[in-house]
A and B are shown apart, each in its own frame.
Chain A
């Protein structure tokens, strides 16, 4: 396990270095913005990674809440399958296709919709019991880090290009900021909540946060947006070399995020095992506790 981690860490470092080389040397300079645009090779991959992690946190939280009751779990499973089926069928109806922005292919939308049930069942299978909650915590923590990178690199780029650091009321900027605030409050709640039921409370907050994001988006509908259109699926055109560099950067960032999540998850696992061992020790005495098998452990020793 440790060896695999080190190998992956080395590969990720190489990958990140290669992505940096591509971003700074190979990718052509933007005709209008000059070299300043190169920050998107950090900004956009961090944003995608952060959104993916928040999405994982949401799925994990829903699943954790659903597990409190068997009937609820069944209902949520069927609901998720329903989203997949209805979503895929809907994207091929001409009425729905007319609503999609130009340049967004229906097959791409269908794949994205299918990711919801796929993630749900994959995570449910891989993370039994309390591990689901640890996954939610890990994803939220690492997601906040990547979202912070997005919120820092954005103004650095905006200052020379727009002439202002921050565009108040911009739809993308505001919704990303609110998402960040919600997840920071999620982490604060987890830090301050001392009871054994932190998990349930935090999962409920994650669901509230996820419900909030579309409403934030909707609430600033009338404010004009300054943010550039999405580079993929938004109908914008981009030099293929730039797109290539962007995708390589994203892959490198994903590997990095995966590594950080892995070690954070492992840390949380060991921390909870240590807590359980302590609790057990105080319950049954030192001698028996050392021999007792710990329910969470896979390869702790």
Chain B
């Protein structure tokens, strides 16, 4: 158990340090989602009342696409210099590596969301009518749902041709329940029309199920070669 956390923290700290120095993933994600927001602003010109109903969808589409940009780079870094092969032959627990990568992506996407959310408020003149604090659990649980499956599928698509296009093709169908939960939950809070409790429970269930499944299967996937 000790070595598990040692591997997790070492990989996580390494990834964050690399990201801090290069800012590759964060910059590309930020610029990408900024573009999406701007294109949405030109495409739809809603009134304040309408925007409450559609922003839930727009926000999460922007974050979903942006997250794919970061997820695609997760493992590519480890392919250079055969780092991943070294992981395979080392006795280090595979799940530690997976957890570190997932936590790293989770932190990056959360930072992106914290930076981008104010932009949505400005561009769409948002006033939240429901309990606004509930947006925090929805954002955290929803991001974890995207990131845990995304990291797993990114590892799966490492060995395919057209790796970059493979990840969304695998990730989006399986993420549909999570996306429904995030979008419907966010809309429920923004409009204040109904309670978002059901969606929080849904996202929590989704996270528990897929985190367990990913941890159970990651070793098989990593060593599948």
29 residue pairs A–B, Cβ–Cβ below 8 Å: A65-B217, A68-B220, A178-B176, A181-B172, A185-B169, A188-B169, A189-B157, A189-B170, A193-B160, A194-B161, A195-B159, A200-B220, A200-B224, A204-B220, A204-B221, A207-B213, A208-B174, A209-B173, A212-B173, A215-B205, A215-B206, A216-B176, A218-B177, A218-B202, A218-B205, A219-B202, A220-B180, A221-B198, A222-B198
Q: Is the Cβ of B202 less than 8 Å from the Cβ of A207?
A: no
Give the most central of A208, A220, A222: most B CB within 10 Å.
A208
Say yes or no: is B128 at the interface (Cβ < 8 Å to chain A). no
Q: Is the Cβ of B177 less than 8 Å from the Cβ of A212?
A: yes
User: B residues within 8 A CB of A215?
Assistant: 177, 202, 205-206, 209
Encode A194-205 as 1/0 by CB contact (under 8 A) with B. Answer: 111110110011
Complex interface residues of chain A between 5 and 26 (CB less than 8 A to chain B): none
B interface size (C-beta, 8 A): 30
Q: Is the Cβ of B159 less than 8 Å from the Cβ of A201?
A: yes
Say yes or no: is B5 at the interface (Cβ < 8 Å to chain A). no
Known contacts: A197-B224, A200-B224. The answer to whether A182 contacts B198 by CB under 8 A is: no
Complex interface residues of chain B between 169 and 200 (CB less than 8 A to chain A): 169-170, 172-174, 176-177, 180-181, 198
User: A residues within 8 A CB of B157?
Assistant: 189
Q: Is the Cβ of B173 less than 8 Å from the Cβ of A182?
A: yes
User: B residues within 8 A CB of A181?
Assistant: 172-173, 176
How many angstroms from the CA of A65 to the CA of B218 in the assembled complex?
A: 12
How many angstroms from the CA of A215 to the CA of B149 in the assembled complex?
A: 14
Pair count A-B, CB < 8 A: 92
* Interface positions of B (Cβ within 8 A of A): 149, 152, 156-157, 159-162, 166, 169-170, 172-174, 176-177, 180-181, 198, 202, 205-206, 209-210, 213, 217, 220-221, 224-225
If over half of B's interface residues share one DSSP class (helix, strand or loop), that class is named, otherwise mixed; here it is: helix
Q: Is the Cβ of A201 less than 8 Å from the Cβ of B156?
A: yes
Q: Is the Cβ of A211 less than 8 Å from the Cβ of B209?
A: yes
Of the candidates B149, B160, B170, B177, the one whose C-beta lies within 8 Å of that of A216 is B177
Q: Is the Cβ of A192 less than 8 Å from the Cβ of B166?
A: yes
Q: Is the Cβ of A197 less than 8 Å from the Cβ of B210?
A: no
Q: Is the Cβ of B159 less than 8 Å from the Cβ of A208?
A: no
CB-nearest residue of chain B to A200: B224
Encode A46-69 as 1/0 by CB contact (under 8 A) with B. Answer: 000000000000000000010010
Shortest distance from the beta carbon of A266 to any chain B beta carbon, whole Å: 27
